[in-house]
């Protein structure tokens, strides 16, 4: 029987160039000798013969399909049938093996017209539920629904082991001007590896891409996407999640342990392999709880191809990296954190993405996710490309991704990386290498709008969740609400304090008096933003040396200086963040290729630093003066910052209740100061609640025998004062006794 398909359709199908394969393949009502009939067509390049199987009155009928092209296009015509009917296809390969399958082209659309409308206008905030791959059922038929955005493609196919990576077999349905392509492939199940094969309209080039919305990927260096359901995990953190909206971290303690999960510890007995998410739950969670931190912040866990990027060059935005296990194991890790009373923050990277061929770059043969003009679209420093925030579909991709982690994985906060690079068009660019905005300025108006919208939506949909900006400039009101003109973040990293403090503390003590402004300058702007004080991973890499190794002096001075630095950090207004290894005084710079130097804990000096951090966390969490009024001047008051020659400062930290305060004094020289008088607000006994020189921390136990009594001696503008023994390179916290 001659075929009923036009020759140009045949050539387009077998050449894998057909824009609308559903208009030809599958069941179609045709005119045959002036009567209605049904033609069933299939493209089966690996078949020697093919049959249409129908079932009539309980009996199976096999109708052989006629080959209408030698490259595997088959057709069967049913002349006495006026409308499509249920059927399956039986394939006989060249070796005589038979198999049956449901025909993907016998099924209608999966995405509704309303879905398509929302996706097209960039307002589908649950975009991850529609695009990507999803286990799906149509009637009694189970399979997988695929959908991808590629508006400038001539043809898109799903390829994988299930079709021998042949783009002719499963070309997708085009849903019109939105650029969405979709297909339901029956018979596929969880665990299938796949990609999208895309033929670009402009040049005819054919390439394969990983799924931007995949929930799981092959472990690097492989790059396939994996069909994966992330539904059905039995969460045990209901109490944590129910209480989260009522937690006010602006007035509560927040001590963050920053972690790179691939190098915190390794399996030395197994070739130095990674700990899995489950093993991290068993080891990291109890450690963080014992050390007293309130939160774990992970460097990006979203899938990334290159270990050396530390996760900051993300490609699988919706997939926790397969390096440490499957997605539900990461859910288990978060769950265990919450059950232990620990929040989880993720580093999130909406600023840029890498140029890997299987990723987002040049996705459909055009600059789809990124700017075409390198003056707006390329990060020269990092060799990456910048998202086009002005494109509604790209903005929706990123908004959907932020909500995805907070919703599906119960994440408590997002720390947004490289915000400065997003909001400045001339970031790290020379004159002539950037394009001003429509008003002639250097502000990236589209990125600013995106960040504001992201923060508004996150805080509206997930009360109690936080967002943190890594913003390294003096951009105003980063952590102020959008309705007041701010960017809307909950917190901002205080990069200025971090750099000033490290520059100050690394100087030999004899020189510190000449640089006291680095110590005190931060208090001039400490209440302009809701600041986090970070000693992050960036400060212990690239020849910057480990935290302990930054300290000046001999071995004793190095440890004493480090204890002093952490003590000053915990007393200073702002939330706290310390990168892993810093809590026990790691000597070496951090490397993503090796675990932390846990063997150092055999030394009392390193155990002392660890004990100091643990006690600081405990005191910080239990003491309202140290955390309750972090972002208003009422929570801080200088006692004295003028004793430059002796390099001593003192101040008060105050709770909402003005009668609840802590006196903090710091000696930044290795000289013991006896009978050092400090003014205090009230008479009475002052308990020494913390001493960084305690023998518990491998110090010399120089102090004040547990406390001192105020004397009616006016000093430093106050009616009372105490005489202190200030330990060398030491810090004291004193609190009025009841």
Question: Which secondary structure element, helix H or strand E, spans residue 258, and what is its range?
Answer: strand 255-259
Sequence-distant (6+) residues with CB within 8 A of 143 are 102, 104, 135, 136, 137, 184, 185, 186, 187, 188
- Is 219's pLDDT higher than 60? yes
Residue 668 lies inside a defined structural domain of this protein? yes
Residue 168 lies inside a defined structural domain of this protein? yes
CATH number of the domain within which 18 lies: 2.60.40.10
Q: Which of 370, 470, 628, 630 is catalytic?
A: 470
- Determine phi and psi for 102, rounding to 5 degrees: -80, 150
168, 82: one domain = no
688 annotated active-site: no
69, 125: one domain = no
Choose one of 182, 206, 226: the last residue of a domain.
226
Beta-ladder partners of 273: 267
- 305 Rama sector, left if φ>0, alpha if ψ -120 to 50, beta otherwise: alpha
Q: What angle do CA 424, 429, 431 make, to 5 degrees?
A: 105
- Is 22's pLDDT higher than 80? yes
E strands present in 279-365: 295-298, 302-303, 316-320, 343-348, 352-353
Within a 13 Å sphere around the CA of 226, how many CA atoms are in the beta-carbon half?
A: 19
Choose one of 78, 104, 130: the last residue of a domain.
104
Q: pLDDT at position 436, please?
A: 95
DSSP 682-701: S-SEEEEEEETT-GGGTS--
Tens-place pLDDT, residues 154-202: 999 999 999 999 999 999 999 988 999 999 999 999 999 999 999 999 8
Q: pLDDT at position 311, please?
A: 95
| Structural domains of the chain, count | 3
213, 127: one domain = yes
671, 710: one domain = yes
57, 117: one domain = no
Tens-place pLDDT, residues 283-337: 999 999 999 999 999 999 999 999 999 999 999 999 999 999 999 999 999 999 9
Q: pLDDT at position 268, please?
A: 79
- What does pTM read for this prediction? 0.96
Residues 223/225/228/230 CA torsion (nearest 10 deg): 80
Q: Read off the pLDDT of each residue in 358-387 and give the average, rounded to a whole number.
A: 93
Eight-class DSSP state of 657? S
Residue 693 lies inside a defined structural domain of this protein? yes
d(CA 198, CA 563): 57
Q: pLDDT at position 1, please?
A: 40
Residue 210 lies inside a defined structural domain of this protein? yes
d(CA 624, CA 629): 8
CB 391 within 8 A of CB 446: no
Q: Which of 102, 211, 237, 417 is catalytic?
A: 417
The residue behind tokens 């085009």 is: 174
- 181 Rama sector, left if φ>0, alpha if ψ -120 to 50, beta otherwise: beta
169, 216: one domain = yes
Count of Cβ atoms closer than 10 Å to residue 82 Cβ = 11
68, 119: one domain = no
83, 187: one domain = no
Q: pLDDT at position 269, please?
A: 63
- Is 450's pLDDT higher than 70? yes
145, 54: one domain = no
- Determine phi and psi for 99, rounding to 5 degrees: -150, 155
Written as six digits, the tokens of 718 are 């106050």
Residue 332 lies inside a defined structural domain of this protein? no
- Is 491's pLDDT higher than 50? yes
- Is 488's pLDDT higher than 70? yes
d(CA 156, CA 200): 9
The region of weakest confidence among 24-38, 327-341, 606-620, 720-734 is 24-38
641, 674: one domain = yes
118, 56: one domain = no
Would you place residue 3 in the very low, low, confident or very high pLDDT band (cuts 50, 70, 90)? low
| Domain that includes residue 194, residue range | 113-226
Tens-place pLDDT, residues 90-145: 999 989 999 999 999 999 999 999 999 999 999 999 999 999 999 999 999 999 99
Mean pLDDT of the chain, nearest integer: 96
Q: pLDDT at position 409, please?
A: 98
Choose one of 104, 123, 149: the last residue of a domain.
104
417 annotated active-site: yes
Q: What separation in angstroms does the CA of 523 have from each of 517, 572, 632?
A: 10, 9, 11
87, 140: one domain = no
Tens-place pLDDT, residues 543-561: 999 999 999 999 999 999 9
CATH number of the domain within which 654 lies: 2.60.40.1180
Q: pLDDT at position 271, please?
A: 66
- Is 32's pLDDT higher than 90? no
Residue 397 lies inside a defined structural domain of this protein? no
The separation between the first and the last C-alpha atoms of the chain, rounded to the nearest angstrom, is: 101
Residue 276 lies inside a defined structural domain of this protein? no
Residue 563 lies inside a defined structural domain of this protein? no
Eight-class DSSP state of 105? G
Written as six digits, the tokens of 173 are 């349905």
Q: At what angle do helices 555-571 and 495-505 cross, to 10 degrees?
A: 150
């Amino acid at each position: 029987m001659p075929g009923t398909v036009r020759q140009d359709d045949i050539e387009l199908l077998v050449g894998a160039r057909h824009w609308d394969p559903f208009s030809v393949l599958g069941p179609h009502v045709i005119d045959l000798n002036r009567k209605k009939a049904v033609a069933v067509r299939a493209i089966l390049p690996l078949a020697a013969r093919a049959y249409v199987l129908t079932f009539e009155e309980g009996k199976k009928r096999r109708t052989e399909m006629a080959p209408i092209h030698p490259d595997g296009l088959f057709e069967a015509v049913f002349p006495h049938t006026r409308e499509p009917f249920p059927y399956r296809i039986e394939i006989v390969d060249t070796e005589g093996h038979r198999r049956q399958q449901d025909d993907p082209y016998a099924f209608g659309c999966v995405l509704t017209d309303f879905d398509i409308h929302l996706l097209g206008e960039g307002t589908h905030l649950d975009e991850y539920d529609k695009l990507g791959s999803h286990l799906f059922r149509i009637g009694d038929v189970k399979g997988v629904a695929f959908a991808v955005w590629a508006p400038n493609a001539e043809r898109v196919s799903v390829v994988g082991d299930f079709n021998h990576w042949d783009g002719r077999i499963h070309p997708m349905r085009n849903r019109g001007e939105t650029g969405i392509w979709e297909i339901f492939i029956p018979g596929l199940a969880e665990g299938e590896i796949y990609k999208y094969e895309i033929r670009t309209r402009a040049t005819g080039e054919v390439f394969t891409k990983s799924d931007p919305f995949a929930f799981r990927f092959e472990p690097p260096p492989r790059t396939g996407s994996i069909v994966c359901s992330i539904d059905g995990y039995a969460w045990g953190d209901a109490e944590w999640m129910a209480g989260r909206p009522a937690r006010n971290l602006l007035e509560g303690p927040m001590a963050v342990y920053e972690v790179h999960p691939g190098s915190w510890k390794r399996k030395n007995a197994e070739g130095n392999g990674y700990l899995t998410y489950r093993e991290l739950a068993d080891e990291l969670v109890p450690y963080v709880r014992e050390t007293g931190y309130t939160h774990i912040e992970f460097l990006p866990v979203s899938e990334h191809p290159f270990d050396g990027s530390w996760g900051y060059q993300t490609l699988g935005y919706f997939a926790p990296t397969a390096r440490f296990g499957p997605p539900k194991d990461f859910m288990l890790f978060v769950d265990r954190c919450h059950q232990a009373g620990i929040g989880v923050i993720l580093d999130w990277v909406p600023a840029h993405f890498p140029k890997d061929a299987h990723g987002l770059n040049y996705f459909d043969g055009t600059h789809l996710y990124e700017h075409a003009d390198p003056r707006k679209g390329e990060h020269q420093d990092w060799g990456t490309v910048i998202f086009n925030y002005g494109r509604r579909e790209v903005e929706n991709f990123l908004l959907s991704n932020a909500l995805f982690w907070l919703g599906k994985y119960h994440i408590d906060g997002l720390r947004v990386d490289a915000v400065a690079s997003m909001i400045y068009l001339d970031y790290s660019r020379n004159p002539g290498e950037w394009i001003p905005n429509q008003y002639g300025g250097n502000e990236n108006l589209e990125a600013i709008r995106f960040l504001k919208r992201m923060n508004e939506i996150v805080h509206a949909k997930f009360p109690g969740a936080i967002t943190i900006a890594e913003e390294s400039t003096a951009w105003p009101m980063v952590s102020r609400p959008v309705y007041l003109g701010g960017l809307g973040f909950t917190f901002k990293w205080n990069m200025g304090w971090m750099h000033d403090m490290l520059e100050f503390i690394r100087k030999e003590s004899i020189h510190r008096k000449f640089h006291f402004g680095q110590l005190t300058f931060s208090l001039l702007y400490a209440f302009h933003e809701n600041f986090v004080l970070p000693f992050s991973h960036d400060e212990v890499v690239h020849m910057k040396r480990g935290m302990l190794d930054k300290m000046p002096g001999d071995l004793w001075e190095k440890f004493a200086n480090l204890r002093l630095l952490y003590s000053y950090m915990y007393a200073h207004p702002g939330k706290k963040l310390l990168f892993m290894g810093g809590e026990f005084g790691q000597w070496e710079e951090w490397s993503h290729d090796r675990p932390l130097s846990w063997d150092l804990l055999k030394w009392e000096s390193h155990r002392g630093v660890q004990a100091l951090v643990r006690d600081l966390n405990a005191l910080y969490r239990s003491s309202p003066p140290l955390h309750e009024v972090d972002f208003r001047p009422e929570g801080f008051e200088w006692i004295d910052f003028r004793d430059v020659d002796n390099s001593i400062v003192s101040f008060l930290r105050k709770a909402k209740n003005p009668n609840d305060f802590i006196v903090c004094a710091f000696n930044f020289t290795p000289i013991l100061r006896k009978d050092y008088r400090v003014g205090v607000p009230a008479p009475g006994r002052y308990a020494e609640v913390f001493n960084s020189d305690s023998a518990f921390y491998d110090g010399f136990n120089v102090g004040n025998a547990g406390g001192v009594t105020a004397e009616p001696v006016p000093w430093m503008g106050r009616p009372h004062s105490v005489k202190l023994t200030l330990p060398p390179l030491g810090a004291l916290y004193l609190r009025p006794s009841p």
